[in-house]
Each structure stands twice: as structure tokens, then as C-alpha cells.
Amino acid sequence: MRGMTIATPPVAPPVAAKKPHSFTHHEITVADDYAWLRDPGYPEVTDKAVLAHLEAENAWFESRMAERKPVIDALFTEMRARIKEADKSVPQKDGNWLYWIEYEDGAEYKKWWRRPVGSADDGSADELILDEVALADGLEYFRLGAIAVSSDGTKLAWSVDDNGSERFTARIKVIATGEVLADEIPGTLSGLIWVKNDTGLVYSLANENWRTDNARLHWIGQPLESDVELYHEDDEGFRVGAALSANEQWLIISTGDHETGETRLVPASDPLATPILVKARQKGVEYDVDERDGVLYIHTNDTHENFRLATAPLSDPGTWSTLIEGTDEFYLTGFELFRDFYVIDGRVRGLDRIEIRYYDDPARIEPIKFPEASYEASLGDNPEWAMDVLRVGYESMVSPASSFDYDVRTRELTLLKVQEIPSGYEASLYETARLEIAARDGTMVPVSVVWRKDREPGGPLHLYGYGAYGISIGPGFSTTRLSLVDRGFAYAIAHIRGGDDLGRAWYKAGKLEARTNTFNDFVDVARGLIERGFTKAGKISISGGSAGGELMGAVINSDPDLWGAVVAHVPFVDVLATMLDEDLPLTPGEWPEWGNPIEDKAAFELIRSYSPYDQVQPQHYPPLMVTAGLNDPRVTYWEPAKWVAKLRELKTDGNELILKTNMGAGHGGKSGRFESLKETAEEFAFILWQLGVYA
């Protein structure tokens, strides 16, 4: 076969060149010899040396994982066998139509369907309104952003990202004919909101820094040049979003960062009217708003960190009266208004709670009761204003996801659908527990654990954590997780500080100057699980992504001997340099979460003290698999690339260190329900390999 070049697998990992570089702040100079891995033309990455290094790392990844291919294939096959390939959601009524989504056999993406209310359920009246399979055809990456049917049911707006950059192009079509209108809006990063009798569409553009600093109105059929900016945000740390009120009478334009919010209302029938400012922003005060019969309902943390629900007359929107007090015990996470009642969501000791409340009887409280002691529950899609039956979702670590209808009048739950696992699943084989483990400062940290009842004590254990932005990680169900649990692993979720699992104070206790609590909690949970006989040091695999990848980097610096395998997905590990670079897309909006090291020397020193990249040192490190996305706007590709390069330079062990950069994807990795499974199969194959487990 003359003329064909066969690539030979690399025999050693790539060694990145060291190019002296440093920066100085607060009279402190920090060396960064791998700063060159950031292409100066980003977000376009064209530097040949950078691309060559990333490709070399990918080649090393492939060479090291090649022998694992039979295991990867076996894991992928069993993971896929747990997914019902031809599957559909339970139809939900919205106006004159029933809407649902459906997957066909083998399809990576879904189709969106509807049929008229009252029509036969035999397919004769079914109408395909959006075909993701067709839209994704030929694309390496596909992600549907927003989708919105006009109020009269005749038109559909949707947006697509085809490269992982999180810049979506919005389009509009006539549903009955399939005609795609000439209207095309590139660069969106938002929902799509129909207003003024479906003649206008409200959206937000991502600016050059991936920040939505605007709310804009597009008139259907008019050129983009005639679009109107309804609101512009000047604070570079704030982001703008728009939504409709539950009764669809008001366009709600909100702006805010991680700790401060501000909201304006505009009549949906007259989007060019002068906006009504609910209350001017006040640092540290968050609020969100809805309206019913001239009364505003405001969810806010102004008097209690766990939020209260207040009301105000539309005529005097800034005068708030308490409807539901904030308390230490109940974390009020949100609310939804309906015509005849409203619903509040929250958590008590970390467990979800949904309550039905009544406008005319504030003392009447009807919690929806669920059967297990540890679970996740939430309101599903409930699109209509006048509803008396609510769609509710439920799952636990041993109970597959279920959809229920809850009849508000009879207070009864009716099971509509249980997640089907075609290859079989027997819940009685598994056991779950919610533990509390003492952190080093005495704080009790919740941990959710699941394992097979026939598991040998002291076996391998996988520990997952996130711990940032006030995002809770609930004790939900996972079919992929079974591939570890069925091989003798216990699987644990550490509900560490930095998330809001136990309320707003739990979040605050893991951010800014308290950030290291997050890392300490994770380590102390691992040690507590060892003490309780679940596992042993060195037999623990851990994983986390993004801010959870920062967690991975911090704990392998501090306690490397605990971990037998580590997977860090798109890890936020170059924390100091990123927070010092106000020209990066997301940095200004992140300062309330991490601190501003440009202006604050104490923040500089604290971030430097835990930033995983800055704290890499000559020592043994556990086996490590790292992923990145070339088009990732959230954690830029060079953070994991620089981190791996520095680890290769300084670590003193012979353990595996591999980096895979998705050259055509972003923060979420590959798209598609099966393509993403392949990446999970790679992750689990790496873990099994490093812990010497496979059966």
C-alpha cells in the first residue's frame, strides 16, 4: 500500500515546552511557564504549537486507553442496554395541544411531537414540530438551546449550537407547513419569549465575553437591524434573562450576578412600554418575581438567607410584605403561581419538599408526601395557568425516575411512568443510606451512599462531589452508576459546603474566604467512609467536573494517598490566573463566588493557596484522567492543558496521567445520548483499570 503512512503509537507522554513567563500583583510574582498554551487568538485556536501539543496529548490518551478498548466497549454496551432506545415522555396539555418528546431506536437526539387535545392516540393526528435528528445530521456537535411555541400554536422558535461554543442561532418556522422563515438570529444565549400576540420574540445576545448584557425584541418578518434593545446591563458582572409571568401577562426582565438581583416588568402585549422596576438592586439581595391579579409575589433573601416569600401591590412594587417568613429549618428555593393556588419548593435538612399553598387561606399548607426517606422530587412541566393536576418528578438512589400526576383536590399521586431499564433492574438488590460525617471543624456533612447488598465490606468506593455556586447534588438515580456498583463499588455523593444542600448558609460556608471548607469536607467524608468500613485508603476513586474539577485538583494536592483513581472533567484548576484576567468572558461575574484578587490582596493570597495549578508540587500523585473541550467558554481548554503539563514536570510517581481534549466540543463534552455514554465508559474503564477491578 504505497503512499500510506501508518501512525505509530507514542511510546512516552508529550512533554510541554517551558517558556518563562510571570505576572506580578500585590508585589507578589508568580511564575507560569506554561502560559503559552493559551492561544492569543482565543476563542479561535490556530496556534500550531498549541494544537500540536493538544493532539500529542490526545494521541497519548488513545495509546494508553487502547488496551482498555474491550472493557470500554463492554461498559458502553451495558450502559446502552439500560436505556430504552424507543422512548417517549408522558404527554402534557398546553392549550389546545398535547406535547411530548420521543426517541427512536438508535437515535442520538429526540423529536418533538404534539397532537390536538381530544384526538385519538393512534398516531393519526400526531404532528412533528421539531426533528433534532434531522437538524444534527452531519454535525460533529449538536445542542438544542431554546424551544418555544407561539401562544396561538402556529409557529415554533428554536435555537441551536453546532460547535459547543454556547452561541446559539435562533430560527422560526410555521409548524403546519414546515416553512422556515427568513428570520435568523445568530449569537443568542437565552430563552426565546413570544410577545405581542406572537408578533415579537424576546431574546438575549451573548456579547464578545459570552455575557448576556441585554434583552432584545425581534419583530417577526423584519430585518435584524430593526431589533430593539429593551434593556442593557452596564455592570460587567451581571447577566440578563427574560421570561413570561405564569399568567403570561408580563415580560419579566431580570439581571444579576451570584449574589445580587434586579427585576423589571413590561406588559407582554406592549413590550415597548416603559419597564416597571420592582426594586433597585442592593448588594447581596437576590429576588425573583411573578404576578397575579395585580399582586407581585417576591422570593427574596433580604431578611433571611434561606429566603422568604413576600407580596407587593403592582402599583407600589418596592413595598414588600412577608407572606412566608424565612427560617433556619426550611430553605425556600422557589415558587410557582397558578390561578387557584401556588406551590413553594424547598428543602428540609437537605431533602426536597413541595407544598401547595392557597391565596385565600395562608395557614393552609399541603405538602406532597413521598415514600422514601432520601429522594429527589420536583415539579415537572406545568405550563397552564389554570391547573388542578400537577406533573411531579421523583427518584432516589435506588428508585428510577418516575413521573406522577398530583391531584390538588384529592391530594393523591398517580404514577404515570417509571424509567424503564430494558436490560433489567431489581431495586431490592441495592441499599442506600444517608449518613452524616464530621468534618475537621465539627460540622456534620451529609453523604448519600448506594451499594449492592451482597457487596464485600471494605471494597472499592467511588466518591463524587461538586461544592460550588450553591448548586445542590441530590440523591438521584443513575443507570450508568450501576456499572460500578454492580462490580462491588459503593457509590457516594458528598453534600459538601459550597453547594446549598442544607440551605444558603451551607453555600456561604464554602465560598470566598471559606472556600477551603469545600475541599476539607470532601477529604473528611472520604476518611469517615473509611472509618465506617465502606472502603480503604487507595481504593477510592473520585470524580468531579468544572468547579468539581477544581475540587479534584485541590484534594490530590493535599491528600494524594487517599485516592486510587481520579477523573477531572473540564477542571477549573488555573483559578488564580483566570480570576486575575478580567478580559476573560466569565471572570467579572465570578468574583462574587471566588473573590477579586485584582483588588484584594487577601483574596489573591487565598486563591493562590488552593488554586490546583499553582499548588502542584514534587510529590506522588494518584492516577489521573483529565478532559477538556477546545470550544469550552466556561473552563478554557488551556487550564487542564497547563495543569497536566505542570503535573508531568513535577510529579514523582509513575502513575497514569492522561488528557483528552474534545476538539469539536465545549463544556459538556460530546453531544448525543449515546456519544456521551462512550465518554462515561472511558471514565469507568480508567477507574476499573487503576483499581484493578473488572468482572
In 10 A of CB 487, how many CB atoms? 19
| Cell reading at 131 | 426533528
* 283: DSSP letter: T
3-state secondary structure 238-275: CEEEEEECCCCCEEEEEEECCCCEEEEEEECCCCCCCC
Q: Report which secondary-structure segment, H or E, holds 649.
A: helix 638-650
3-state secondary structure 356-406: EEECCEEEEEEECCCCCCCCEEEECCCCCCCCCEEEEEEECCCCCCEEEEE
β-bridge partners, 324: 309
Residue 358, classified by CB atoms within 10 Å of its CB into exposed (0-12), middle (13-18) or buried (19+), is middle
Question: What is the distance between the alpha carbons of residues 633 and 204, in angstroms, rounded to a whole number?
Answer: 17
* 209: DSSP letter: T
Q: What is the CA radius of gyration of the chain?
A: 26
Q: Which of 32, 559, 574, 632 is catalytic?
A: 632
**Can 632 be counted among the known catalytic residues?**
yes
* 278: DSSP letter: S
Burial string for 274-302 (b: 16+ CB within 10 Å, else e) reads ebeebbebeeebbbbbbbbeeebbbbbbb
Q: Which of 569, 614, 667, 671 is catalytic?
A: 667
Question: What is the distance between the alpha carbons of residues 240 and 189, in angstroms, rounded to a whole number?
Answer: 10
Q: How far is CA 25 from CA 22, 326, 582, 598, 603, in A?
A: 10, 41, 14, 7, 11
Q: Report which secondary-structure segment, H or E, holds 48.
A: helix 48-65
| Cell reading at 438 | 464530621
**Can 546 be counted among the known catalytic residues?**
yes
3-state secondary structure (DSSP) of residue 284: coil
For 12, residues 6+ apart whose C-beta sits below 8 A from its C-beta are none
Is residue 495 within 8 A of residue 472, CB to CB? The reply is yes
Question: What is the distance between the alpha carbons of residues 288 and 667, in angstroms, rounded to a whole number?
Answer: 28
Q: Which of 402, 546, 611, 671 is catalytic?
A: 546
Which are the catalytic amino acids? Answer: 546, 632, 667
